[in-house]
Amino acid sequence: MKNIAFIGLGTMGFPIASHLVKQNQKITIYNRNIKKCHNFKKNFKKYNIIIEDNLFSLAKNNQYIFSCVGNDDDLREIYFSKTGIINEIKPNSYIIDHTTVSSEISIESFIKFKKKNCFFIDAPVSGGEIGAKNGTLSIMVGGDKKIYSKLRKLLDIYSKSITYMGKSGNGQLTKMVNQICVAGIIQGLSEGLNFAKQKKLSFNELFDAVSNGAAQSWQMDNRASTMWLDKFKFGFMNKWMKKDLIIALKEAKKSDILLPCTEEILKFYEQLIFKGYGDFDTSSLIKLLNKKN
Protein backbone atom coordinates (compact mmCIF):
# COMPACT_ATOMS: atom_id res chain seq x y z
CA MET A 1 0.00 0.00 0.00
CA LYS A 2 1.46 3.36 -1.07
CA ASN A 3 0.88 6.77 0.50
CA ILE A 4 -0.99 8.39 -2.39
CA ALA A 5 -2.67 11.80 -2.46
CA PHE A 6 -4.86 13.27 -5.16
CA ILE A 7 -5.49 17.00 -5.61
CA GLY A 8 -8.47 17.97 -7.76
CA LEU A 9 -11.64 15.87 -7.95
CA GLY A 10 -13.17 17.34 -11.08
CA THR A 11 -14.55 15.60 -14.14
CA MET A 12 -11.24 13.85 -14.82
CA GLY A 13 -9.67 13.77 -11.36
CA PHE A 14 -12.59 12.04 -9.62
CA PRO A 15 -12.55 8.88 -11.80
CA ILE A 16 -8.73 8.75 -11.96
CA ALA A 17 -8.59 8.88 -8.15
CA SER A 18 -11.26 6.19 -7.98
CA HIS A 19 -9.08 3.78 -9.98
CA LEU A 20 -6.12 4.52 -7.72
CA VAL A 21 -8.00 3.89 -4.48
CA LYS A 22 -9.52 0.66 -5.80
CA GLN A 23 -6.04 -0.62 -6.59
CA ASN A 24 -4.20 0.82 -3.57
CA GLN A 25 -7.02 0.55 -0.98
CA LYS A 26 -5.99 3.92 0.50
CA ILE A 27 -5.87 7.53 -0.71
CA THR A 28 -5.73 11.08 0.64
CA ILE A 29 -7.90 13.55 -1.27
CA TYR A 30 -7.98 17.35 -1.49
CA ASN A 31 -10.33 19.64 -3.36
CA ARG A 32 -11.11 23.33 -2.98
CA ASN A 33 -14.79 22.40 -2.82
CA ILE A 34 -14.75 20.03 0.15
CA LYS A 35 -18.19 18.66 -0.83
CA LYS A 36 -16.54 16.77 -3.69
CA CYS A 37 -14.25 15.04 -1.17
CA HIS A 38 -17.22 13.94 0.94
CA ASN A 39 -19.00 12.73 -2.19
CA PHE A 40 -15.92 10.72 -3.18
CA LYS A 41 -15.71 9.13 0.27
CA LYS A 42 -19.43 8.33 0.17
CA ASN A 43 -18.97 6.52 -3.14
CA PHE A 44 -16.02 4.43 -1.94
CA LYS A 45 -16.90 3.60 1.66
CA LYS A 46 -15.01 0.32 1.85
CA TYR A 47 -11.62 1.95 1.20
CA ASN A 48 -9.38 3.98 3.49
CA ILE A 49 -10.03 7.55 2.33
CA ILE A 50 -8.55 10.52 4.16
CA ILE A 51 -10.05 13.93 3.42
CA GLU A 52 -7.42 16.64 3.78
CA ASP A 53 -8.03 20.39 3.87
CA ASN A 54 -4.40 21.30 4.49
CA LEU A 55 -1.81 21.00 1.72
CA PHE A 56 1.07 21.05 4.22
CA SER A 57 -0.29 17.96 5.94
CA LEU A 58 -0.98 16.31 2.59
CA ALA A 59 2.61 16.88 1.47
CA LYS A 60 4.10 15.65 4.74
CA ASN A 61 2.21 12.39 4.79
CA ASN A 62 2.23 11.26 1.15
CA GLN A 63 5.06 10.21 -1.14
CA TYR A 64 3.00 10.09 -4.34
CA ILE A 65 1.06 13.27 -5.09
CA PHE A 66 -1.23 13.48 -8.12
CA SER A 67 -2.80 16.70 -9.38
CA CYS A 68 -5.53 17.38 -11.90
CA VAL A 69 -6.75 20.95 -11.61
CA GLY A 70 -7.72 23.78 -13.97
CA ASN A 71 -4.82 25.85 -15.26
CA ASP A 72 -1.34 27.29 -14.63
CA ASP A 73 -2.55 29.56 -11.82
CA ASP A 74 -4.24 26.67 -10.04
CA LEU A 75 -1.03 24.65 -10.17
CA ARG A 76 1.07 27.53 -8.85
CA GLU A 77 -1.38 27.91 -5.98
CA ILE A 78 -1.34 24.27 -4.88
CA TYR A 79 2.39 23.85 -5.53
CA PHE A 80 4.18 27.13 -4.80
CA SER A 81 1.95 29.51 -2.83
CA LYS A 82 2.45 30.16 0.89
CA THR A 83 0.19 27.19 1.56
CA GLY A 84 1.53 25.06 -1.31
CA ILE A 85 2.93 21.56 -1.05
CA ILE A 86 6.52 22.56 -1.86
CA ASN A 87 6.86 24.14 1.59
CA GLU A 88 6.46 20.83 3.44
CA ILE A 89 7.11 18.14 0.85
CA LYS A 90 9.48 15.36 1.88
CA PRO A 91 12.57 14.42 -0.16
CA ASN A 92 12.06 11.55 -2.62
CA SER A 93 8.42 12.42 -3.17
CA TYR A 94 6.84 12.03 -6.61
CA ILE A 95 4.52 14.63 -8.16
CA ILE A 96 2.44 13.50 -11.14
CA ASP A 97 0.48 16.26 -12.86
CA HIS A 98 -2.42 15.40 -15.17
CA THR A 99 -3.56 19.00 -15.71
CA THR A 100 -3.40 20.42 -19.24
CA VAL A 101 -1.25 23.51 -18.79
CA SER A 102 1.61 25.39 -20.45
CA SER A 103 4.99 23.76 -20.90
CA GLU A 104 6.48 26.65 -18.87
CA ILE A 105 4.71 25.75 -15.64
CA SER A 106 5.71 22.09 -16.09
CA ILE A 107 9.37 23.00 -16.57
CA GLU A 108 9.19 25.39 -13.62
CA SER A 109 7.68 22.64 -11.46
CA PHE A 110 10.33 20.13 -12.54
CA ILE A 111 13.13 22.53 -11.56
CA LYS A 112 11.65 23.67 -8.24
CA PHE A 113 10.77 20.20 -7.03
CA LYS A 114 14.18 18.90 -8.07
CA LYS A 115 15.75 21.45 -5.71
CA LYS A 116 13.74 19.77 -2.95
CA ASN A 117 15.08 16.36 -4.04
CA CYS A 118 11.64 15.47 -5.39
CA PHE A 119 10.55 14.21 -8.79
CA PHE A 120 7.98 15.85 -11.06
CA ILE A 121 6.50 14.61 -14.33
CA ASP A 122 4.01 16.37 -16.60
CA ALA A 123 1.49 13.78 -17.70
CA PRO A 124 -1.52 15.32 -19.47
CA VAL A 125 -4.19 12.88 -20.59
CA SER A 126 -6.49 12.33 -23.54
CA GLY A 127 -9.64 10.25 -23.73
CA GLY A 128 -12.13 12.49 -22.00
CA GLU A 129 -14.49 11.67 -19.16
CA ILE A 130 -15.34 8.30 -20.73
CA GLY A 131 -11.68 7.32 -20.84
CA ALA A 132 -11.17 8.41 -17.24
CA LYS A 133 -14.18 6.41 -16.02
CA ASN A 134 -13.20 3.32 -18.00
CA GLY A 135 -9.52 3.54 -17.09
CA THR A 136 -8.53 3.82 -20.76
CA LEU A 137 -6.79 7.19 -20.90
CA SER A 138 -3.84 7.98 -23.12
CA ILE A 139 -1.05 9.63 -21.15
CA MET A 140 1.76 11.78 -22.58
CA VAL A 141 4.73 12.03 -20.23
CA GLY A 142 7.51 14.58 -19.95
CA GLY A 143 10.35 14.48 -17.42
CA ASP A 144 13.12 12.18 -16.25
CA LYS A 145 12.79 8.80 -17.99
CA LYS A 146 14.02 6.86 -14.95
CA ILE A 147 11.35 8.48 -12.80
CA TYR A 148 8.71 7.74 -15.43
CA SER A 149 9.77 4.08 -15.40
CA LYS A 150 9.31 3.95 -11.61
CA LEU A 151 5.82 5.43 -11.90
CA ARG A 152 4.69 3.36 -14.87
CA LYS A 153 2.77 0.77 -12.83
CA LEU A 154 0.73 3.48 -11.14
CA LEU A 155 -0.10 5.15 -14.45
CA ASP A 156 -1.05 1.79 -15.93
CA ILE A 157 -3.94 1.54 -13.45
CA TYR A 158 -6.12 3.99 -15.40
CA SER A 159 -4.65 4.11 -18.91
CA LYS A 160 -4.62 2.13 -22.12
CA SER A 161 -1.47 3.77 -23.47
CA ILE A 162 1.42 5.75 -21.99
CA THR A 163 4.04 7.40 -24.16
CA TYR A 164 7.25 8.90 -22.84
CA MET A 165 7.87 12.08 -24.86
CA GLY A 166 11.21 13.23 -23.46
CA LYS A 167 12.26 16.14 -21.28
CA SER A 168 10.05 18.09 -18.91
CA GLY A 169 7.34 20.03 -20.73
CA ASN A 170 7.21 17.66 -23.69
CA GLY A 171 4.13 15.95 -22.31
CA GLN A 172 2.31 19.28 -22.45
CA LEU A 173 3.61 20.04 -25.96
CA THR A 174 2.27 16.65 -27.08
CA LYS A 175 -1.14 17.42 -25.53
CA MET A 176 -1.17 20.67 -27.52
CA VAL A 177 -0.69 18.67 -30.72
CA ASN A 178 -3.53 16.39 -29.63
CA GLN A 179 -5.91 19.31 -29.09
CA ILE A 180 -4.95 21.00 -32.37
CA CYS A 181 -5.78 17.78 -34.21
CA VAL A 182 -8.98 17.07 -32.28
CA ALA A 183 -10.36 20.57 -32.86
CA GLY A 184 -9.79 20.23 -36.61
CA ILE A 185 -11.40 16.80 -36.71
CA ILE A 186 -14.50 17.98 -34.83
CA GLN A 187 -14.93 20.96 -37.15
CA GLY A 188 -14.63 18.72 -40.22
CA LEU A 189 -17.05 16.19 -38.73
CA SER A 190 -19.50 18.99 -37.90
CA GLU A 191 -19.46 20.31 -41.45
CA GLY A 192 -19.80 16.82 -42.94
CA LEU A 193 -22.75 15.86 -40.73
CA ASN A 194 -24.48 19.19 -41.27
CA PHE A 195 -24.05 18.75 -45.04
CA ALA A 196 -25.56 15.26 -44.79
CA LYS A 197 -28.53 16.52 -42.77
CA GLN A 198 -29.26 19.30 -45.22
CA LYS A 199 -29.13 16.79 -48.06
CA LYS A 200 -31.48 14.51 -46.08
CA LEU A 201 -29.18 11.48 -45.99
CA SER A 202 -29.93 8.62 -43.60
CA PHE A 203 -27.57 8.67 -40.62
CA ASN A 204 -27.24 4.90 -40.22
CA GLU A 205 -26.33 4.32 -43.85
CA LEU A 206 -24.10 7.38 -43.86
CA PHE A 207 -22.21 6.18 -40.78
CA ASP A 208 -21.71 2.72 -42.26
CA ALA A 209 -20.43 4.24 -45.48
CA VAL A 210 -17.88 6.69 -44.07
CA SER A 211 -16.84 5.31 -40.66
CA ASN A 212 -15.01 2.36 -42.21
CA GLY A 213 -12.97 4.48 -44.59
CA ALA A 214 -10.44 7.30 -44.43
CA ALA A 215 -12.85 9.56 -42.52
CA GLN A 216 -12.93 7.24 -39.50
CA SER A 217 -11.89 8.80 -36.16
CA TRP A 218 -12.55 8.52 -32.44
CA GLN A 219 -14.77 11.57 -32.71
CA MET A 220 -16.84 9.95 -35.46
CA ASP A 221 -17.17 6.66 -33.60
CA ASN A 222 -18.12 8.28 -30.27
CA ARG A 223 -19.77 11.58 -31.16
CA ALA A 224 -21.33 11.43 -34.65
CA SER A 225 -24.61 9.91 -33.47
CA THR A 226 -25.03 12.35 -30.58
CA MET A 227 -24.13 15.29 -32.82
CA TRP A 228 -26.80 14.14 -35.26
CA LEU A 229 -29.34 14.05 -32.40
CA ASP A 230 -28.23 17.44 -31.04
CA LYS A 231 -27.07 15.98 -27.70
CA PHE A 232 -24.05 17.57 -26.03
CA LYS A 233 -24.39 17.22 -22.26
CA PHE A 234 -21.35 15.02 -21.65
CA GLY A 235 -17.65 14.68 -22.32
CA PHE A 236 -15.01 17.36 -22.70
CA MET A 237 -16.47 20.86 -22.30
CA ASN A 238 -16.12 23.80 -24.69
CA LYS A 239 -14.67 26.03 -21.98
CA TRP A 240 -11.85 23.55 -21.50
CA MET A 241 -11.12 23.31 -25.20
CA LYS A 242 -10.95 27.09 -25.38
CA LYS A 243 -8.34 27.08 -22.62
CA ASP A 244 -6.33 24.32 -24.31
CA LEU A 245 -6.33 25.99 -27.73
CA ILE A 246 -5.21 29.29 -26.21
CA ILE A 247 -2.28 27.47 -24.62
CA ALA A 248 -1.37 25.88 -27.96
CA LEU A 249 -1.62 29.17 -29.86
CA LYS A 250 0.55 30.98 -27.32
CA GLU A 251 3.17 28.26 -27.64
CA ALA A 252 3.01 28.43 -31.44
CA LYS A 253 3.40 32.20 -31.41
CA LYS A 254 6.64 31.94 -29.44
CA SER A 255 8.16 29.86 -32.24
CA ASP A 256 6.44 31.68 -35.12
CA ILE A 257 4.45 28.53 -36.04
CA LEU A 258 1.32 29.03 -38.14
CA LEU A 259 -1.95 27.50 -36.91
CA PRO A 260 -4.57 29.21 -39.10
CA CYS A 261 -7.30 26.59 -38.72
CA THR A 262 -6.80 26.39 -34.96
CA GLU A 263 -7.14 30.17 -34.72
CA GLU A 264 -10.47 30.05 -36.51
CA ILE A 265 -11.79 27.11 -34.51
CA LEU A 266 -10.88 28.90 -31.27
CA LYS A 267 -13.18 31.73 -32.41
CA PHE A 268 -15.94 29.18 -32.94
CA TYR A 269 -15.54 27.87 -29.39
CA GLU A 270 -15.60 31.41 -28.09
CA GLN A 271 -18.89 31.92 -29.96
CA LEU A 272 -20.37 28.79 -28.37
CA ILE A 273 -19.36 29.96 -24.91
CA PHE A 274 -20.81 33.41 -25.59
CA LYS A 275 -24.09 31.76 -26.61
CA GLY A 276 -24.21 29.92 -23.27
CA TYR A 277 -22.81 26.56 -24.37
CA GLY A 278 -19.61 26.62 -22.31
CA ASP A 279 -20.47 23.38 -20.50
CA PHE A 280 -21.52 21.53 -23.65
CA ASP A 281 -19.32 18.84 -25.15
CA THR A 282 -16.80 20.06 -27.76
CA SER A 283 -18.74 18.27 -30.50
CA SER A 284 -21.32 21.05 -30.20
CA LEU A 285 -19.35 22.97 -32.84
CA ILE A 286 -22.03 21.67 -35.19
CA LYS A 287 -24.56 23.99 -33.51
CA LEU A 288 -22.89 26.99 -35.16
CA LEU A 289 -23.82 25.56 -38.57
CA ASN A 290 -27.50 25.55 -37.70
CA LYS A 291 -28.86 28.99 -38.57
CA LYS A 292 -31.48 28.65 -35.82
CA ASN A 293 -28.67 28.71 -33.24
1-41 pLDDT, tens digit each: 899 999 999 999 999 999 999 999 999 999 999 999 999 99
Task: Give the model's pLDDT for residue 281.
Answer: 96
Q: What pLDDT does residue 234 have?
A: 84
- pTM across the whole model: 0.95
d(CA 53, CA 34): 8
Give the pLDDT mean for 185-208.
98
* Average pLDDT of the segment spanning 186-203: 98
pLDDT tens digits along 126-144: 999 999 999 999 999 999 9
Alpha-carbon torsion, ordered 88, 94, 99, 104, to 10 deg: 80
292 versus 217: the higher-pLDDT residue is 217
Averaged over 208-215, what is the pLDDT? 96
d(Cα 165, Cα 272) in Å, to the nearest integer?
33
Kindly state the percentage of the chain with pLDDT values over 70.
100
- Give the model's confidence band at 290: pLDDT under 50 very low, under 70 low, under 90 confident, else very high: confident
The answer to whether 93 touches 40, Cβ cutoff 8 Å, is no
* pLDDT grade for 162, boundaries at 50, 70 and 90: very high
**Band of residue 235 on the pLDDT scale cut at 50, 70, 90:** confident
CB 144 within 8 A of CB 195: no
pLDDT of residue 292: 72
Model confidence band, residue 256 (pLDDT cutoffs 50, 70, 90) = very high
pLDDT at 53 over 80: yes
Q: Catalytic annotation on 145?
A: no
pLDDT at residue 131, rounded to an integer = 94
Q: Which of 36, 116, 133, 175 is catalytic?
A: 175
Give the C-alpha distances (Å, rounded to integers) separating 160 from 39, 91, 135, 140. 27, 30, 7, 12
Judge whether residue 68 has pLDDT over 90. Answer: yes
Q: How far apart are CA 203 and CA 217, in angstroms?
A: 16
The rounded mean pLDDT for the chain is 97
| Contacts (Cβ under 8 Å, ≥6 apart) of 199 | none
